Amino acid sequence: MSTESTTDHPPTAPEGVLLGHLTPGTPDWDAARAGLTITATEIAAVVGLSPWMSRFTLWHKKAGLRAAPFEMTPAIEWGNRLEDPVAAKWQDEHPGLIAAPAGTWKHREREWQRATPDRLIYPQPAGEFDLPGQPTGLLEIKTSPMGDEWGPDGAEDGVPIWYRCQVMWQMDVLGVRRTDFGVLISGHDYREYVIEYDEAEAKTLRDAAEQFLDEVRDGVRPPIDSADDTYKTIRVQPDGFDDVDIEIAAEAAARYENAQAEAKAAAAELTAAKSVVLDLIGTGRRAVCDGRRVAYRIPKPDGTTKSLNPYKQKEAA
């Protein structure tokens, strides 16, 4: 979620190639990310770990085909708006370091490998007119409404896997060995995490990306999966409408009809289960079981319930 800043650009650079300090949404920004390239925000989709984009959708995007359109959600909007304040908090916690805008980069040898980190971290100059030295790492700024996907402050495994993929890719592109995270959760819970560069992990991501790009070149479309944006991508593929019957396989017809019936039954069971949990919460805020948070209630101004929402449960290690 990189945004521009009035902070002067740093005079030194890491091992990657700086393409520029580009403004998101501009033609130059789009050009730096277009074609057969893989950016840090795309690598998690390549390996099937992104909660926002499926491999299927990314393949269509890279193949120059129609894909699910980008949707500016409130979470994305406020994440962008809060990036500078959260970066300032990190700066306050690390007075011996400077966090400067990073810009958009490509790998020195693999031009298809791109990244736009939030900040580069530099040591504080000793004197007023001294220049900062080489960057010591990257700073990634994140916000989260509830934070159930993040671990305890400072936990070694506290960063969600899709963000770990993102920063591992960034470090691989720029040639740095450490990423600090500054994370604001629920608007008031500030946490920090550190991820060190892992060459084996980075190579796994690179190999997956190269295979993915080969599949794009060869026209090998990924299988259809259950992601919402895969469905949205398929919905935008037709160009026109023909009022004709299309014969489909019996297996596809049975799968669709069975899923419809199961979804109806599941929806009815979910409504009943929500009613039971909400009744048990009463005027409370959260439902817990053996110390584990199960759901939380959002009340209306008059105290009645606006919605009941589940806590995402991490998979067991």
pTM of the predicted structure, to 2 decimals = 0.82
What's the number of CA atoms in the CB half-sphere (13 Å) around residue 2?
A: 26
Helix 83-93 vs helix 74-81: angle between axes, to the nearest 10 degrees? Answer: 50
- Helix ranges restricted to H, 18-73: 27-33, 43-46, 55-62
Least Cα distance to 186 among 269, 296, 282 occurs for 296
For residue 114 the two structure tokens come to: 């791109």
Do 272 and 211 lie in a common domain?
no
Q: Which of 160, 161, 179, 182 is nearest to 170 (CA)?
A: 179
End of a domain among 232, 261, 289?
232
100 part of a folded domain = yes
- Does 221 lie in the same domain as 265? no
Return the closest-CA partner of residue 21 out of 4, 38, 40, 41: 4
What is the pLDDT at residue 127?
60
| Mean pLDDT, the chain cut into blocks of 10 residues (317 residues total) | 40 74 81 88 97 96 91 86 95 93 94 96 73 83 89 94 98 96 95 97 98 97 95 92 94 96 96 95 94 93 93 55
Single out the residue of 158, 166, 155, 174 nearest to residue 201, CA to CA.
166
Q: Which of 42, 22, 40 lies closest to 30 in space, CA to CA?
A: 22
Where a domain ends, among 199, 232, 265? 232
**Which distant-in-sequence residues (6+ apart) come within 8 Å of 63 by Cβ?**
216, 219
Provide the pLDDT for residue 132: 65
Domain ranges, residue 278 = 250-310
User: Which pLDDT score is estimated for 70?
Assistant: 83
Report the DSSP beta bridge partners of residue 106: 17, 114
CATH number at residue 116: 3.90.320.10
Whether the Cβ atoms of residue 54 and residue 224 lie closer than 8 Å to each other: no
**Shared domain check, 273 and 164:** no
Residue 164 included in any domain:
yes
Same domain, 174 and 287: no
Short-list 68, 52, 18, 58, CA closest to 208: 58
Which pLDDT score is estimated for 246? 94
Q: CA–CA distance from 164 to each of 57, 140, 181 (Å)?
A: 21, 11, 10
Per-position DSSP letters for 213-261, written without gaps between them: HHHHHHT-PPPP-S-HHHHHHHHT---S---------HHHHHHHHHHHH
Q: What pLDDT, on a 0 to 100 scale, did the predictor assign at position 12?
A: 45
Question: What torsion do the CA atoms of 56, 60, 63, 64 make, to the nearest 10 degrees?
Answer: -170
Same domain, 182 and 294: no
Domain count for the chain, please give it. Answer: 2
Domain annotation covers residue 38: yes
Q: List Cβ neighbours of 101 (8 Å cut-off, separation of 6 or more).
A: 2, 4, 5, 7, 9, 21, 119, 120
Among residues 75, 71, 74, 48, the alpha carbon closest in space to that of 59 is found at 48
Check: CB of residue 143 under 8 Å from CB of residue 86.
yes
- Alpha-carbon span 263 to 261, nearest angstrom: 5
- Does 193 share its domain with 264? no
Residue 69's pLDDT is what?
Answer: 84
Q: Return d(Cα 56, Cα 48) in angstroms, integer.
A: 9
* Shared-domain flag, residues 137 and 281: no
From the list 166, 173, 181, the residue with the least C-alpha distance to 90 is 181
178 and 37 within one domain: yes
Is 94 within a domain?
yes
Please check whether residues 226 and 164 belong to one and the same domain: yes
301 and 165 within one domain: no
3-state secondary structure of 63: coil
